[in-house]
Amino acid sequence: MDVTAAKYIGAGLAMTGLIGAGAGLGILFGNYLQAAIRNPSAAAGERVWLFLGMALAESMGIFGLVMGFVILFVKV
């Protein structure tokens, strides 16, 4: 296979890591919203943990994204 073609395919495959990040963010915000609607008075205090969880879930996707960039743009 051509190296350039393999590079693009690899970068595309690296993006599959974003599936998990998307699912994680959906679960996170969905559950936060559900909890916040059930008990609105407690919602504000948990917002820090919401954003922390968001960062942790998102970072997994970001790692995939960085791998994609490394595959595409880093010249070996």
Partner 1 sequence: MAAIEPMEQFLVHKVVPITPLHVPGLGLLDLSITNSVLFMIISASVISIFFLMAAKREIVPGRMQAAAEMLYGMVDGTLTGGIIGDRGRPFLPFVFTLFLLIAMLNLIGLAPGGFTVTAQLAVTAALAIMTFTTVLVVGFVRNGLGFFKLFLPAGMPLGVAIPMMFIEFISFAVRPLTLAMRLFGNMLGGHVVTYMFASFVVGLGLFGLQGAGLAKLGLVGSLVSFLVIIALLALEFVVAFLQAFVFAALTCVYLNEVVNLDHGH
User: Which residues in this chain contact partner 1 in the complex, by CB under 8 A?
Assistant: 45, 47-48, 51-52, 54-55, 58-59, 62-63, 65-66, 69, 73
Query: Smaller CB distance to partner 1: residue 5 or 48?
Result: 48
The distance of closest approach from Cβ of residue 1 to partner 1 in the complex, given in angstroms and rounded to an integer, is 24
The distance of closest approach from Cβ of residue 22 to partner 1 in the complex, given in angstroms and rounded to an integer, is 14
Spatial separation of the C-alpha atoms in residues 53 and 28, rounded to whole Å: 7
CB atoms inside a 10 Å sphere around CB 68: 20
Q: Are 55 and 48 in contact (CB under 8 A)?
A: no
